[in-house]
Amino acid sequence: MLYSSISNNKIKDLKKLNSKKYRDLNDLFLVDGEHLVLEAFNSGYLDELILLEGTNFSLDIKTSYVTTDVMKYISCLDNPNGIMGVCRKKKSVLSGDKVVILDDIQDPGNLGTIIRSCVAFNVDTLVLTNGCVDLYNPKVIRSTQGMLFKLNIIIVDDICEFVSDLKCKKYKIYSTRVNGGNSLKTIEKSSRFAIIMGNEGNGVRDSLMDLADSYLYIDMNPSCESLNVGCATSIILYELDK
């Protein structure tokens, strides 16, 4: 079916998915572009394909066609490429031995980078506090380059209770700490661990820091005061994956 009016109720509902409120209400989100659509389809999260009329692209799934004006109305991109998808939100639970916990990460690009690094360095579960930037924010989705669909990700309300439960399950809890921590090069590694990474401005909250079994920092040139949390997480995960 071809949709040509932005006043159509279905089109209005798709547009609403650009808002977190409606993503949460419907457990759905949008992806833009062939690569993300294919990643969603191959991972089993794609519910519907939205194509610009005349676009030569086919998947074995429900497909709707739209005009240029409608595509621009739905998409968050200034120049949408004519391929979009409606996806179901991920339903995940804690699994595996390698866990990364993000304490109120705010920047979409940082979250996207960390998701990609988690996949690259064999993390089993990524945990987000409910104060983190929305996992389904369009900027987060684009920055993951599809790795969102390849990683077990959970969102928790009470992060201190969650970490305490990990300790009971014999996970070793690491936290980043500039002062009083151990060099990443000398840290005693564990095969079953969780690493806590802090907010861009405030770092790891004290109540979480107090739950850590070991603190670590990254050795670097003293002329550099700090690293972007996305870069820091990538370095740590690389070292812990050795």
Residue 27, helix vs strand vs coil: coil
Overall number of domains in the chain: 2
pLDDT value at position 225? 78
Is the domain of 104 the same as that of 199?
Answer: yes
- Mean local confidence (pLDDT), 38-63: 96
Q: What is the dihedral of CA 186, 106, 152, 40, to 10 degrees?
A: -130
pLDDT value at position 188? 84
Q: What is the DSSP letter of 75?
A: -
Kindly state whether residue 132 falls inside one of the protein's structural domains. Answer: yes
Is the domain of 164 the same as that of 113?
Answer: yes
Kindly state whether residue 141 falls inside one of the protein's structural domains. Answer: yes
Last residue in a domain, options 70, 88, 106? 88
Is the domain of 80 the same as that of 120?
Answer: no
Last residue in a domain, options 88, 120, 140? 88
Annotate 189-233 with DSSP letters as a single string. Answer: --SSEEEEE-BTTTBS-HHHHTT-SEEEE----TT-----HHHHH
What is the per-residue pLDDT across 189-230, written as a single tens digit (0 to 9) for each? 889 999 999 999 888 999 999 999 999 988 888 888 788 999
Average pLDDT of every residue of the chain: 94
Q: How far apart are CA 224 and CA 67, in angstroms?
A: 50
Is the domain of 135 the same as that of 212?
Answer: yes
Q: How far apart are CA 14 and CA 168, in angstroms?
A: 43
What is the per-residue pLDDT across 86-143, written as a single tens digit (0 to 9) for each? 999 998 899 999 999 999 999 999 999 999 999 999 999 999 999 999 999 999 999 9
What is the per-residue pLDDT across 131-179, written as a single tens digit (0 to 9) for each? 999 999 999 999 999 999 999 999 999 999 999 999 999 999 999 887 7
Is the domain of 140 the same as that of 216?
Answer: yes
Task: State the CB neighbour count (10 A cutoff) for residue 56.
Answer: 6
pLDDT value at position 226? 80
- Mean local confidence (pLDDT), 34-50: 97
Q: How far apart are CA 178 and CA 90, in angstroms?
A: 34
Q: What is the DSSP letter of 90?
A: P
Last residue in a domain, options 88, 115, 137? 88
Is the domain of 113 the same as that of 160?
Answer: yes
Is the domain of 80 the same as that of 180?
Answer: no
Above 80 in pLDDT, residue 242? Answer: no
Is the domain of 63 the same as that of 178?
Answer: no
Is the domain of 30 the same as that of 129?
Answer: no
**CATH code of 228's domain:** 3.40.1280.10
61 or 91: which leads in pLDDT: 61
pLDDT value at position 160? 96
The boundaries of the domain holding residue 72 are: 2-88
Task: State the CB neighbour count (10 A cutoff) for residue 65.
Answer: 17
State the burial class of residue 13 (Cβ atoms within 10 Å of its Cβ: 0-12, 13-18, 19+): middle
- Total-model pTM: 0.93
Is the domain of 114 the same as that of 84?
Answer: no
State the burial class of residue 214 (Cβ atoms within 10 Å of its Cβ: 0-12, 13-18, 19+): middle
Q: Rounded to 5 degrees, what are φ and ψ at 152?
A: -75, 120
Kindly state whether residue 93 falls inside one of the protein's structural domains. Answer: no
Cα-Cα-Cα-Cα dihedral sign, residues 5, 61, 75, 154: positive
Is the domain of 73 the same as that of 104?
Answer: no
pLDDT value at position 105? 96
pLDDT value at position 212? 95
Is the domain of 78 the same as that of 152?
Answer: no
186 or 53: which leads in pLDDT: 53
